[in-house]
Structure 1
Amino acid sequence: MNRFDIYETVTNLIVERLEAGVVPWHMPWKTANSIPRNLVSKKPYRGFNFWYLLSFGFERPYFLTFKQVQELGGKIKKGSSSFMVIFWKMVEYEKDDEAKEILMLRYYRVFHIDDVEGIAPNKIPDNESYDHEFDPIASCEQIIEFWSDSPVIKLNKNKACYIPSLDEVHMPGERTFFQDEEFYSTIFHELVHSTGNLKRLNRHERFSNLNFASKDYSMEELVAEMGAAYLCGMCGIENAIIDNSAAYIQGWLKKLKSDKKFIVQASGLAQRAVDYILEHQKTP
């Protein structure tokens, strides 16, 4: 199967999953920092709140409201800042003597557990990393190892990310991923981000507003995930990651108002990124 067939096949597979409805996206690894959640309810934050709180890279994943801190006998450390959490609420109003309802965006503020003192240690759960025997996949390893101008890759970090200013990819350790294929899907995602660097394809110049949840940021995330899916297809592991990739893409499409043109635009940019990686291999 040639590259064009792979790109088309994987794109169609993702679109089919999107149209059929996909399972919610899940974080494919578990390090000590884990998934941001409320300490009292233990419920993970979802949607924008998940990405926003995760972006700070805290070692521990727990957050509390001011009231919850007080109820647990704790207090906020002097000078600490809170974080905004948003939610939708149905609000009633009257129009023409008739009761109506409308969804309105609301927010409240939470504090990270590191900014709280006085809570009994037994109220704060231990949060150990996931661990399993990692079995490298040769086809994936070859693409990573032989990319001639690859960014520096650093493992055993708290989160997966690409840092443009350092031209570095940070990744959790391989053993913290629930599936070996998800490790490669995640590192491919970050490597596709790195193709946007000034010294490579300079895509970040075009999508320069990389503030979280901006239109440019959303498009760059779509490009990275489409590119990762293409690379997984070329390595023969797309079936293991396709549902999670489709769910991830669906989430970002919602930020872009689900306009179909964005998936077409992103797939074209992703293909250029993957071609760049494959054309800069030290061996055939």
Structure 2
Amino acid sequence: MASGTDGFNSSGQQALDRFAQMMIERMERMKASDWRQGWIGGASSVGLPQNVTGRNYSGSNSFFLQLHSAMKGYELPVFLTFKQAHNFKAHVLKGEKAFPVIYWDMLVRDKDGKKISSDEYRAMSQEERKKLDVIPFIKAFPVYNLDQTNFREVQPERMQKLINRFKVPEIRDTQGMYAHSALDNMVAQQTWLCPIQADRKEKGAYYSPSRDMVVLPMKAQFNTGTTPEEVYRDGMEFYSTMLHEMAHST
């Protein structure tokens, strides 16, 4: 059996290699003269990638799962593991390939080479930790989009709830939503480094390299909450999405 973190490093490195290849492929397609699709964002849904249990992915996982969903044209940015599919009495369709989700972990040993558990490490003082050998590494595990499974057929009610969760909402108003005056003024005066369109109904948010423009759904389209607190947070989601696409424009 291999020692250390060789196996973990291998899976983590394979995931990073795949992410790099995705970026290269995306940039090559962006350079094509007939490229018109936005950088990120599905055609018929609004929302960040999540696990089928409802937990949102964060950091680079969120970014690359969004990119993966857009490039593959998946209906929803919802993913599950092979085991989760089995638990829902579903299965992965023949020929479908998994996508890696990564997270950082660490291997900790004391001066005698004895492995220290995560719980033990967290309970130690800073002085005690200085005497340990800590090796960080990336761990990866595979996930599948719902479109890569028969989830829709075996869990129709759950699937419909997810579709409702991600569908482009009916336009309401912006009453009670969080407001950021500086960003509102920036959009109104168009002082960002490229135009930002946020005054008409759209099916998704994206940065268009061919037009050098950030396109956002209207703020009111983010108003999907049923309580004052949820409506307020919906406003935050609008600005978060705006800043995300602004970052792509750089």
TM-score in terms of structure 2 length: 0.49
TM-score in terms of structure 1 length: 0.44
